[in-house]
Every structure is written in structure tokens, then in C-alpha cells.
Chains A and B, each alone.
Chain A
């Protein structure tokens, strides 16, 4: 079983829809990262969070440490949101020197149709 699981694997939505992408992890972590990758390879860090909720524009990320689960929500989706969304975790606070190593989920390909 992968340490980081994402669902659904692929997602197609209509412009304007509310989208939710999920991430579950099985290890202790110090932080969870949401990344966005567009065709061509460039990766952008969207959020880094260790508790609660963060909001940036139309994007909202939440994390539940007890349930080892995080969600990324996109409100009023737009075709330019089409990308691969990757969840990654960085190590347990108990691991000396290991906090910065990222373990990645497989990513979810989102297509938003106009």
C-alpha cells in the first residue's frame, strides 16, 4: 500500500463546478503539501499545511491529522485549472533530519471543460 493515496484518479468537470480532490496518508507527518503540475512539467506549490484549513483565491485546502486525510477544493472551476494535482507529505517530527523529504501521491489529472 502506498504511503500517500489520492482519489479519484482522474476527474473531469464542467466549468463553474465545485471540485474536491482527496488525499489519504498512512504515516506520521509534519506537513502536507498540495502541488500543481501543468503539461510541460512545471510544478507549483499551492499549499503547505500541518493543521486546519488554508485558502488562496478559489482554492481551499483542509487537513484532518487524526484521520490522516486532506482535501483540496476548487470553487468556480475554470479550464485553466486543468492540471495534475499532487499530494505530498513530509516526514514525521520524530524522524531526525527527515522532515524535508517529500513522499508523493500518484497525482490526479483534472480536466475542466468550458
Chain B
């Protein structure tokens, strides 16, 4: 089975722009979670989707949003980018949302200038 894929792998944006990141889960997995990793804060949970519904959301401002499509692929969007949004954005998929092993993608490295 192919692993979790994320596109793009690297992205450079400027303050005020918006960005969309994409995640394709492992075939058959219906749960997708998104995480932000920064040197200062470490890994933090952004949100989780299962069957096109957001089940959980972390403590991030409303500029961070996401969605999941019927084929389980997920996108996350960040509007009005700030310098502090520079981070590695990781998505992970699992077969079910509850207490299942999560399989991580390679991440998208976002740099905001």
C-alpha cells in the first residue's frame, strides 16, 4: 500500500497570503489528522476529520481551516499568513479515529517571509 502523501513538500509564501496544503491518506483510511511542528512549540494538534466531518479541533485561530473529501483526501488552508505560521505541517491517517495507530506523511515545510 502506498503511504500517506502530502503536497507540496515545500512552500514559500509572504505575509498576508493564503495557502492550501493537501494530504492523501493510506487507501482505506478514513481518518485524517493535521499537526503543526515548530522548534518552539513542538508538535501541536490542528484538527481531525473522519468521513468528511471535523471531529476535533486544536487551539488554533480561525485562520486555520480544513476539509475532507468523499475519497478521504484532506486539505488544510491557512489564510492571512503570519511569520509565526512558518512550520512543518504533518498529516496522519488511521483506519478509525479512536485509539488507532496513526501513519504520518512526510510533511509540508511552509516558510512565510
- A-side interface residues toward B, CB under 8 Å? 30-31, 33, 35, 41-45, 48, 50, 86, 88, 90, 97-107
Chain A residues in 8 Å Cβ range of B102: 33, 45, 102
Q: Is B26 an interface residue (CB 8 A)?
A: no
Q: Which residues of A contact B42 (CB under 8 A)?
A: 104-107
Residue pair B43, A86 in contact (C-beta under 8 Å): yes
Compute how far the CA of A35 lies from the CA of B35 in the bound complex, rounded to whole angstroms: 14
For B51, the chain A residues whose CB sits under 8 A away are none
Say yes or no: B99 contacts A41, CB within 8 Å: no
Chain B residues positioned under 8 Å from A105 (CB to CB) = 42
Please give me the residue from chain A that is nearest to B97 by CB atom. A100
CB distance from A73 to the nearest CB of B (A): 20
Q: Is the CB of A98 within 8 A of B56?
A: yes
Please tell me if the beta carbons of B94 and A100 are within 8 angstroms of each other in the complex: yes
For B109, what are the chain A residues with a Cβ–Cβ distance below 8 Å? 41
CA distance A73 to B31 in the complex (A): 30
| Residues in chain B near residue A101, CB distance under 8 A | 33, 45, 48, 56, 58
Are A104's CB and B44's CB within 8 A? yes
How many A-B residue pairs have C-beta atoms within 8 angstroms? Tell me. Answer: 64
CB < 8 Å neighbour of B55 from A31, A50, A88, A100: A100
B45–A103 touching, CB < 8 Å: yes
Flag if B56 contacts A41 (CB, 8 Å). Answer: no
When distances are taken between beta carbons in the complex, the residues of chain A under 8 Å from B58 are 101
From residue A61, how far is it (CB to closest CB) to chain B in Å? 13
Let me know if A30 and B99 touch, CB within 8 A: yes
* B43, A100: Cβ atoms closer than 8 Å: no
User: B26-64 interface mask toward A, CB cutoff 8 Å, 1 = contact, 0 = none?
Assistant: 000001010101000011110010000001101000000
User: Which residues in B have their C-beta under 8 angstroms from that of A30?
Assistant: 98-99
CB distance B88 to A41 under 8 Å?
Answer: yes
Bound CA span A33–B94, Å: 13
A43 partner residues in chain B, CB cutoff 8 A? 90, 92, 104
Q: Which of B4-29 contact A (CB under 8 A)?
A: none
